[in-house]
Chains A and B, each alone.
Chain A
């Protein structure tokens, strides 16, 4: 049977009987599974950046006097609504997978079958987050630069704070999608290491 580095050999008898505990060989301690740790860290980053994106875009409201008060909110554009919805879904699922792989890190080998399904969730989330970033990015770019051919004016000269919040939110979601790519690559790499030569 091939030895798996993530299986724990619990040294329950050793600390009780031996008085010279410091002379224990280090091979009885659990070796650090860098893949599992990196997995948890990346998932946590994805969740954090999805949360930050949603919060920043939801709080981006700016009211300008035009001469009447005219607010600019994210609910006025369907693309931005889709962005908030998609990133909320991504944050929710990444929270679940973070907790799952954290649990698997603490108790190794408990639910390897479920953990191996997490990669499917990661790939689907990558598609959703990438499309949301593209949609919000294109709308914000038109708001930034305007489009003279169709007569769409710039709005960022008027609503500066709103556009800054949008830009920051989209940048953070771009970071989230890069983290998701790294996560899938990590899973692929760790799966490929287990393939017999």
Chain B
């Protein structure tokens, strides 16, 4: 913002602030950095989640149950794969847009609009991945007797805990992306010509 100062007859200096160059604010740095950190943590927490357990399986009713080694990994479930991929993309995008908006500082309007556009797309993708992972996690937690899908969280407790933590962290990250879009909109609304 440029400021002009002039003195009138009484010696009082007035400063008029003119907002000319800084039309679209590009300083949502804190939000972008936090979103980067949160989506990175969510992707990593689910990406390294793995649990090996010995599951007792009763093959024949007369024989005692055999312990079969079974493992729970995120790559077994396509919803978790989608979750990790989308969080990784959002994390990379947060870094790129942080660098771009730092370099831009609101000067080039079409770059700011492009960043708002991609913020919106990333927000929608993140919300859908949170919904998908939460839905699958809920089925794993409670099971679904109507379609005979058994619960897995009583056996793989640590894995389910990691899924829950990753989903909550990514939810906070997607709320941050929502705030980014809303603040950009608010800034546009404030700076418009009346």
Contacts and interface: CB of A to CB of B under 8 A. Distances in A.
Contacts, number: 145
B34 interface: no
Interface stretch (A16-24, A34-42, A49-57, A128-136): A128-136
Given A177-B124, A191-B185, A191-B188, A138 B135 contact: yes
A187 to B, nearest CB: 8
Tell me the interface secondary structure of chain A in the complex. helix
A147 B128 contact: no
B147 A143 contact: yes
Nearest to B193: A194
Given A185-B120, A188-B113, A139 B189 contact: no
Contacts of B188: 188, 191-192, 195
A5 interface: no
A132 B140 CA distance: 18
A191 B186 CA distance: 10
A126 B124 contact: yes
A123 interface: yes
Given A135-B134, A139-B139, A191-B185, A127 B76 contact: no
Interface stretch (B4-12, B42-50, B93-101, B148-156): B148-156
Contacts of A116: 189
Interface of B: 20, 23-24, 72, 76-79, 82, 109, 113, 116-117, 120-121, 123-125, 127-136, 138-140, 142, 144, 146-150, 152, 174, 178, 181-182, 184-185, 188-189, 191-194
Interface of A: 2, 72, 76-79, 82, 116, 119-120, 123-124, 126-128, 130-139, 141-143, 145, 147, 149-153, 155, 177, 181, 184-185, 187-189, 191-192, 194-196
